[in-house]
Structure 1
Amino acid sequence: MTLIFLCGPLCHRPLLDVILGGDFALSPAFVGGRDGRLVDAPGHFALAPHRGAKVEGAVLEAPAPQAARLAFYAKATGLGARQVRLTSAMGTAPAITYALTAGPADIGPWDAALWLADHAALAVETAVEVMARFGQTPPARLRARLGPIRVRAASRLRARSEQTPNAVRSAPGDVALQAARQPYAHFFAVEEYDLTFRRFDGTTSPPINRAVFISGDAVTVLPYDPARDRVLLVEQVRAGPLGRGDPNPWQLEAIAGRIDPGETPEDAARREAVEEAGLTLGPLLPVASYYPSPGAKTEFLYSYVAITQLPDGAAGVFGVEDEAEDIRGHLISFDQAMALVASGEVQNAPLLLTLLWLQRERGRLRA
């Protein structure tokens, strides 16, 4: 047995259920001479030396398999192991704990209610993907991909929380997942599923295999100036056309980007407009939310038109340097934009859909 002092998020039973993968018993305990610090990340908690303070938590007597799972999760999420001396109903004893070292990026004292409201669900969903790789993927590799893993976790939470009308299509359910594999994972991932589903004649299908390209939810936004009747398009090189063998991989698009954990789609649209075009957007008008390619990809898009002032000189070259972005803006009249649609120079679905929506709503917006 390994004696482990659990504190902060690691005292959250739904998170521990995922990490430990089996029954466990906790007893109240504390560690003196330290205080807990909140860190703005799911599952993260910092211990800082502080004379006279104490950190409340719990003690876990972990058998070897559970101790190994907890150590794996800690390494994958960047938590460090350290020796502490805990006090419980059984007295004092040495133990190990997992936490960050407090530093200048700390937000403030640990607030369990705040973490529960803002981070707990994402922490649990992130742990689901992390622990699914236990015994298969080195934790250091997962640590390097923790950002995309959190994005995908946030996307799954968003999918489960949103309304899914089914006035015509079948009701949710009647799909049985029998096995899942992840043969590739980096910034994006590929997963394979063995599944059965209820056929329209009421019978169950034979087992089938499907592969899915895994990415997070994203947002697109087209700035439109009703007074000048112009839009701003962005241009950049894209790997998709390159991989298809297209001799011209440069694409004209709406401003776009992934939705980070903790962001709303609207927040992401405004952030991306600053990063990709140097624009502060006005009102955001929802166009549609949709799967652009549901046969092969998990990506789900939220598309908007943003009422924005677009004077001469508003376009430039922008992008986030750390992401190797090199993005050029184009100020284009609405009529010219629709001519690009007609000529085939606009080739990506979100911009096509958004321009056709704007064509329908343009008179109202200009009025």
Structure 2
Amino acid sequence: MADLFFYGTLRHVPLLACVAGTELLRHEPAVLPGFEAFLVKDANYPGLRAAPGAGAPGILVRGMSDEAVARLDYYEGGHGYVLEPRDVETENGPVTALVYLPTRDFADGGPFDLMAWQDRWAQINLFAAQEVMAQYGLRPAAEVMARYPMILTRATARANAQAGGPVTLRRATRPGDVVVDDQTQPYARFFAIEDYKLRHRRFDGTMGPQLDRAVFVSGDAATVLPYDPVTDRVLLVEQFRMGPLARGDAQVWSLEAIAGRVDPGEMPDQTARREAVEEAGLTLGALHRVHGYYPSPGAKTEYLYSFVAECDLPDSAAGLGGMPGEGEDIRSHVLPFDAAMELLAAGEIENAPLILSLYWLAAHRDKLRARS
């Protein structure tokens, strides 16, 4: 049994309970004297540094089991923290407790504000911790944490999904409608494969038999079709795609709308604007939401947010772009709207988000042009 002091994101008790594997976490406020927590630059977690005269606020949890500490070591060790004993101050006097201290120096990103972190990151980090801790005892922590950025991306998608959508015609999902008997993750890198043994309620009200279903797990993504209402032109991007190659398609280059994954903590409209800069060097004007949708809900978790964006599209907007560090090689085409629709009718455009966005633009084009 051990007493542990937490000064960072594990002060969020639901996250701490997930990592420690227990709901019985009686805790009390405490302070680590001579130290201060700070936000790590370009991250969503704090570092800790010596600061004479300061004190890092946190919580003290007494009597944690060996198993709980082992789980915490798996999680925090993977992030580069180690346990060391330190004296902390409580309302009833000093107590010696174990504290996770960073093993390397971090760049300062400003003060760490737990309330601000909870508002933006608590749900995302909780989903990420659930995926990490599902690998406890199965895979080394270093291996799991090496793909933590993608774990956070998938966690962001799960957090986005919590709102759900309207229910008027379709069946409303209620507690007990789906029972997961077993869940494994046989593969996880940039994407993940999850295998479920589950039962779900049938339309006649009975529970169906156990099903074995695999799902391809990825993050959410945003797409945007740039449109110049003055010149009535659109910008399409072209790039090599693995999907057509693996399918055996004779043509492996694809015409598409600008697209990219929704990064952790990012809103879909922010993704659309960022990707427009990265892929085509464009600064977008007004964004118009086309739709949010699952392109293949039978086998994939991917959810897409599609937009049409007003912007200037001079001849110089066509050219080469992309992020070479991410293996992107992208060619941009600026062409009249009617020419894009001819490509669609001929079957040369086979990308679903672009098809959907062009049809949306066809329905709203006159209105956009009238306002320009």
Query: What TM-score comes out, normalization by structure 2 length?
Result: 0.93
Aligned to 2:144: 142
Counterpart-to-counterpart distance in 1, 2:357 and 2:103? 44
Question: Counterpart of 1:97?
Answer: 100
Q: Which amino acid in the other structure matches residue 274 of structure 2?
A: R
Report the counterpart of residue 15 of structure 2 in structure 1. Answer: 15
| Counterpart in the other structure of 1:357 | 360
- How far apart are the structure 2 equivalents of 1:298 and 1:80? 35
What are the Cα deviations for residues 157-202 of structure 1, in whole angstroms up to 9, with x where unaligned?
111124x112111112322222111111001000011111121222
Q: How does 1:152-171 map to 2 (within 5 A)?
A: 152-162=154-164, 164-171=165-172
Q: Deviation of residue 143 (structure 1)? A: 1.0
Aligned-partner residue type, residue 137 of structure 1? R
SS in structure 1 of the partner of residue 292 of structure 2: strand
Give the superposition deviation at 1:83. Answer: 4.4
SS of the residue aligned with 2:314?
coil
State which of 67, 70, 74 in structure 2 corresponds to 1:68. 70
CA contact (8 A) 1:75 1:143 kept: no
> Any residues of structure 2 matched to 1:32-181 within 5 Å, and which?
32-39=33-40, 41-42=43-44, 44-60=45-61, 61-88=63-90, 89=92, 91-93=94-96, 95-99=98-102, 101=104, 103-104=106-107, 106-162=108-164, 164-173=165-174, 174-181=177-184
Given residue 277 of structure 2, which amino acid in structure 1 is its aligned partner?
Answer: V
More displaced 10-residue stretch of structure 1: 312-321 or 114-123: 114-123
- Cα 1:130–1:98 shift into 2, 3 Å: farther
Report the equivalent of 2:285.
Answer: 282
Deviation by residue 1:258-287 (Cα, 9 ceiling, x = unmatched): 011111110000000000000000101111
Q: Normalization by structure 1: what TM-score?
A: 0.94
Q: Does 1:337 align with 2:340?
A: yes
Does the CA contact (< 8 Å) of 1:74 and 1:98 recur in 2?
Answer: no
* Bigger mean CA offset, 27-36 vs 322-331: 27-36
2:57 and 2:84 mapped to 1: Cα distance?
Answer: 16
Unaligned runs of 5+ in 1: none
Query: Structure 2 stretches of 5 or more lacking a match?
Result: none
Indicate if the aligned counterparts of 1:216 and 1:300 stay in contact, CA closer than 8 A: yes
Q: Residue 259 of structure 2 aligns with which residue?
A: 256
Assess if the C-alpha contact under 8 Å between 2:85 and 2:96 holds in 1.
no
Residue 328 (structure 2) aligns with: 325
1:184-229 CA-partner distances (Å, limit 9, x unpaired): 1001000011111121222221111111000010000000111111
3-state SS of 2:317 partner: coil
Aligned equivalents of 1:240, 1:166: Cα separation in 2: 33
Q: Pick closer, same or farther for the CA change 1:98–1:124 going to 2, 3 Å.
A: farther
Provide, for residues 313-360 of structure 1, a one-character-per-residue CA deviation record: whole Å limited to 9, x for no partner.
Answer: 111211112211111101111111111111111111111111111112
Deviates more, 1:200-209 or 1:279-288: 200-209
- Residue 302 of structure 1 corresponds to 305
Match of 1:4 in 2: 4
Fraction of identical pairs, as percent: 48
Distance 2:69 2:316 in 1: 60
> 1:86 touches 1:95 (CA, 8 Å); kept in 2?
no
Q: Is the 8 A contact 1:20 1:70 kept in 2?
A: yes
* 1:86-142 deviation per Cα after TM superposition (whole angstroms, max 9, x unaligned): 3443634263324475533x2222222222222222222211111121111211111
Instruction: Specify whether residues 274 and 178 from structure 1 end up closer, same or farther in structure 2 by C-alpha distance, changes over 3 A only.
Output: same
**CA distance change for structure 1 residues 109 and 81 in 2, over 3 Å: closer, same or farther?**
same
RMSD: 1.7
In the other structure, the counterpart of 2:349 is 346
CA drift of 1:76 comes to: 3.0
What residue is the counterpart of 1:193 in the other structure? Answer: 196
Distance 1:46 1:363, change over 3 A: same
| Secondary structure, aligned partner of 1:14 | helix
Contact 2:320 2:331 in 1 (8 A): yes
Instruction: Say whether residues 1:272 and 2:275 are aligned partners.
Output: yes
Check the 8 A contact 1:34/1:49 in 2, yes or no: yes
Quick check: 1:223 aligned with 2:229?
no
CA distance in 2, matches of 1:227, 1:47: 54
- Shift in Å at residue 4 of structure 1? 2.3
2:244 counterpart SS class: helix
Are 2:206 and 1:203 aligned? yes
SS, match of residue 54 in structure 2: strand
Q: 1:4-43 deviations in whole A, cap 9, x for unaligned?
A: 221122221111111111123324332222111123534x
Please report how far the alpha carbon of residue 81 of structure 1 lies from its aligned counterpart in structure 2 after TM superposition.
Answer: 3.9
Corresponding residue number in structure 2 for 1:24:
25
